[in-house]
Amino acid sequence: MKKLTLTVLLLILNVVLYSQSINGKLGTGGQFIIRDTSNTFLTVPQNTGYLTLNRSLTLPNTTGSTIGVFYKDAFRFLHNYGSQNTFMGVNSGNFTMTGPGGNTSVGFLTFSSNTTGYENTSVGSNTLYSNTTGYLNTAFGTFSLNLNTTGYHNTAFGSYSLRSHTVGNQNTALGYASLYSNTSGSFNTAVGYNSLFNNTGGNQNTAVGYNSLYNTTGSYNTAIGYDAQVPNVSGSYQVRIGSSAITYAGVQVAWTITSDKRWKSDIQSSNLGLGFISKLKPVSYFRNNDEKKKTEYGFIAQDVEEVLKESGVENTGMLSIDDEGRYELRYNDLMAPMVKAMQELNEENEKLKSENVELKKMFLDFQKTQNQLVKKVEQLESIDRDIKEIKLGKK
């Protein structure tokens, strides 16, 4: 009994003297276990040092830097500060943001500058790093939407997609570095590696395909296909299908071109007709990128330009020149001069037909008169013969 009392006293003394720490040493193959009579709650084996929990780990909602937070070294790693937020990753989120919340962020430094932005989703290192008040943005991939501050309704899928974006809205970027340089442009859609890469403030562009609209900075442009580029990078309202390397383009039915007069102004009769068409130089040629060397027929744009200048036409949509000085010809615009030329030929033909009818009538009148004269001559000759025969006494 005395021995038991002494042991209890020693234990109490030990707790009093060393109450600031608990220090124990496991022997080889030993385990640290917390349990009751029938359940094991926590185990730490000596041979691995791994902590095994057989029950849930419960943390309070994060209300600051000291409550409900997992840290990695001195850096916040997992917390749910704010309303309905979830942050996971070194220094993801912060402990100062306000607003309605609903943000989800996973990755190194993701969403760490936010103030009142809400319902954003970011996954990947540095995604939505600079976001302050932007809302309803989605960023997936390293550095996607990294510099966005106030922009909203933007979607970036792919590393470095919308990387430089700051204040533009309602952009969609899908693919590595798509819309990479965009800062303030809105309503753009880029699908494909490096698509719309250099656009900064252009709006409502659509690029689908690897490198499509790579250098374009204008607005309302559309390009579809690998490396599809519009002629003028700073221009707007341009459409391009395919790269300069394509050798075939087809469609099941004929293209329909808008032609309603309500789309047009200052409507005049064509000043180009037979004179213009007759000076054109139709040629045959091979396309440089056509491996099969199929013969094509058409015109050389520079030749058409010279004939247009001779005809007094300088500013025309028939010809365009891209940023590299290459000419393009809109063949549709040749239809009106061709029709005009046919009308002029028809007018000349009708005039010739009228003149021919008149000449034919004159010829018939002349022939009739000639026949009448012949008859007169024949009558005179008959009378002359009768007179001669009378004189000779033959009658």
Specify the CATH number for the domain of residue 321.
1.10.10.10
Residue-wise pLDDT for 39-76, tens only, equals 999 999 999 999 999 999 898 999 999 999 999 999 99
DSSP string, 123-172: ESTTTTTT-SS--S-EEESTTTTTT-SS--S-EEESTTTTTT--S--S-E
The answer as to whether 244 is a domain residue is no
- What percent of the chain lies above the pLDDT cut of 70? 94
What would the mean pLDDT of 137-157 be, rounded to a whole number? Answer: 98
Domain that holds residue 49: 31-55
The answer as to whether 316 is a domain residue is yes
**Residue 95 scores a pLDDT above 90:** yes
Task: Provide the pLDDT for residue 24.
Answer: 76
The answer as to whether 69 is a domain residue is no
What's the CA angle centered on 51, arms 49 and 55, to 5 degrees? 165
- Lowest-pLDDT range, 6-10, 118-122, 184-188, 291-295? 6-10
Buried b (16+ CB within 10 A) or exposed e, 44-57: eeeeeeeeeeeeee
How many residues are recorded in the chain? 395
What would the mean pLDDT of 125-143 be, rounded to a whole number? Answer: 98
**Residue 301 scores a pLDDT above 70:** yes
Task: Provide the pLDDT for residue 354.
Answer: 92
In whole angstroms, give the CA distance from residue 92 to residue 108: 6
The answer as to whether 104 is a domain residue is no
Task: Provide the pLDDT for residue 71.
Answer: 96
What would the mean pLDDT of 306-335 be, rounded to a whole number? Answer: 95
In whole angstroms, give the CA distance from residue 70 to residue 54: 19
Tell me which H or E stretch contains 283: strand 283-285
Residue 164 identity (one-letter amino acid) = S
Task: Provide the pLDDT for residue 340.
Answer: 96
Task: Provide the pLDDT for residue 4.
Answer: 41
Q: Are 201 and 218 in contact (CB under 8 A)?
A: no
Q: Which two tokens stand for residue 103?
A: 């943000």
Write phi, then psi, for 375 (nearest 5 degrees): -60, -40
pLDDT band at 2 (very low <50, low <70, confident <90, very high): very low
Task: Provide the pLDDT for residue 22.
Answer: 66
The answer as to whether 276 is a domain residue is yes
Q: How many structural domains is the chain composed of?
A: 2
The answer as to whether 23 is a domain residue is no
What would the mean pLDDT of 28-34 be, rounded to a whole number? Answer: 93
Residue 364 identity (one-letter amino acid) = L
Task: Provide the pLDDT for residue 14.
Answer: 56
The answer as to whether 108 is a domain residue is no
The answer as to whether 217 is a domain residue is no
Task: Provide the pLDDT for residue 393.
Answer: 77
